[in-house]
Structure 1
Amino acid sequence: SIFTGDAAQKYILFKENKSWTEAQRYCRENHIDLASVRNQTENQEILSAAAGQWVWIGLFRESWKWSDQGTSSYRNWNSGQPNNFYGQENCAVIWTNSWMWNDLQCGGIFPFFCYKDNLILVQENKSWGEALSYCRQHYVDLVSVPTEQVQNWVKRRAQSASTAHVWLGLRYSCALHFWFWVRGKKAGTRNWAPGKETGKCGHTGAVESGAGQQWVSLPETEKLNFICSKHGIKDICDSGYGKKLLVQMELTDTALLNMRDPAVRRAVFQKIEKKLKEQGMPEFKLRWRRQPNGEIFYQKKEDEEKKEGCKKPEV
């Protein structure tokens, strides 16, 4: 039984009865993990799909943590729960008679909810560009990692790779000098291995398949396994997408150009867009930011140039 509507991107219900540990193993091997419940809306969605059955969720007693290592503090315990009856109740189940949560012995046999599988490890060795094209042709995209929760899922997938590193949808922009996800956002969540965040042109991000599954910067020509996303990541988690990024740049050799001319500004704008697309950022939405005086560009004064001790980004 699978959720309908928006929830179809999140969970899948398995009616086969398993212990909590067996359910966790099944979800991790075949999907992503046992389901976390992060708010009242998700709790109600699970209750509706459970159709009168008691069901395991991914909460277990270690200060009551989620199996997928999510950090949600939402709880919906029944009155007097968790009570750890006989000191052996270490896993959480949703009671259908009260629609609230209870702690039970993990060996109890119940149906369970998994996260619907959104990530796939492709065990073919491809360059970063080839991997990007493959994911976009067969799935949605090379995986972006907007949250710690998705990062944990990626780590689990990477452990099954046949190469020492696995490509992510992470690339360095030479034009704007920052790391970004191919889904169109600047990299916020970070998990770089010490000394491995090398900001160089032609470098892209990968995750280790061994050790601590941290990120490394590698030349995009290397041939590696890679992880694709089957659906939009933001469909299954709070991604934090939608933030604005302000970038200031300097244009050189503009003496013969009238930067107030709309045609000139449009040509510059199109050149920036072309650069972004070439570097795998087609989903970035650009717009000019006007100065307080209404102008977009201003002529740099000579004393400002003398104070500058570093080279501006070139577009």
Structure 2
Amino acid sequence: MKMTQTLYLLFISGFSSFPLGSSEFHLIKLPKTYQEAKSYCREMYTDLATVHNSTDMNMINLLSSTNTRAWIGLEIGDVWTWHWSQPGQKLDFLNWKAGEPQNNNQDACAAMDQHGKWFESGCATKRSFVCHGYSDTSGHIFVAETKSWRDAQNHCRGLSSDLVSIHAAEENEAVRNVSVSQNVWIGLFKDPWKWSDGSNSSFRHWKPNQPNYFEDQYCVSAIFIDQGRWNDRRCSDRRPFVCHGDQQPTSLPTPPNTASKLTTTKTPGLVSVTSTTEMSTAAQLTPTTTVQVTTDGVSASTTLTGTSAQSTTWPLTLKPTENTPSLPPGNLILIQENMTWIEAMSYCRKHHIDLVHIVSEDSQQKVAEKAKNATSPHVWLGLRYTCNFNFWFWTSSTADCYLNWAPGEGTEGKYDCGVTGAIQATGRQQWVGLPETEKLNFLCYACGG
């Protein structure tokens, strides 16, 4: 069975998207107020983006390598609500001290005293804390070092854990027992924020000292240059935004006198476009329009269905032209540091262009030669598997029919979500799928020598 070459790609206009699990995120680069952005997302997709966990946040970060600030679907609410830090945990057990929690409308966090009773506290206070164990059987982790609640949360998440959540009296007693008679942070916090789509996600990713609620800052934007961390902003500000959900079908009228601006190819009925303006025009020609896109030396043919001219997701079947350039040796940079796939991609995009992609047998040979100097058994490539659509794709805007999978890999393999591509550093130097959390050397490509 041949690997399908149909990919969901970003076209460099006002739009990019990335499929993830049961959701799909779309960065819309059209500056709008928060309410305008919400209306747009509800009309074109499902709603402004809801972030359920750090994986969602990492995927949203991949939508932009610029310093863009973009609205997400978090907004101020009327009710201050307690949440567990660990996403998806129900508030089904409480053990407050008498007189607690306090009846006030301000951010707060919860701690446990030496008797196992909970009390409300300012989140900036430094105290010891308890993280969840690495599994249901490994108990809890007591950290004696004193930190603010948010720094304690970051510490636990750095251990691939979170601040402890408590759901029964027995678990509460177990946390008290490991806390060695100290007041400790637990993973309970209070805030007024709610998600536009009504989700109860408790995941938060604030910048330090945020939110500050200054000057009617009642809506939230993610700052891509700062790992997507969040900042509360005035809802009247105009900025790009992130939607989630499947694209809704729409119908657009045919604009007058636009077909004459486009070029007909040698294939009957196929329109050639070479710019985002022409793509927008083609998207409005008829309810269904077939176009050929040419960009960066790669041609792609696709059928557009009626949709917004400013933001469209196209299934593109990419076909390299005869002049598709291979990667010169000077453009390949081997980073002999072990990072996760997402860390490696972020590094390459910050310091160079991107993780390397392989478009031909010639570029495979050049990548293989560089990989021989790696200090890890495999080397990350810009190759990712989507479990939502069950295919592999290159994260750059180009692709190719060239494949070099090891036996049992690629379309022959069975993968979970979160799998990415690597090249064997030695031997036949074929491609394999590995969990993105593994730490490997990686190859970037850059301009010039």
Normalised to the residue count of structure 1, the TM-score between the two structures is 0.36
Which structure is higher in strand share? 2
Which structure is higher in helix share? 1
Normalised to the residue count of structure 2, the TM-score between the two structures is 0.26
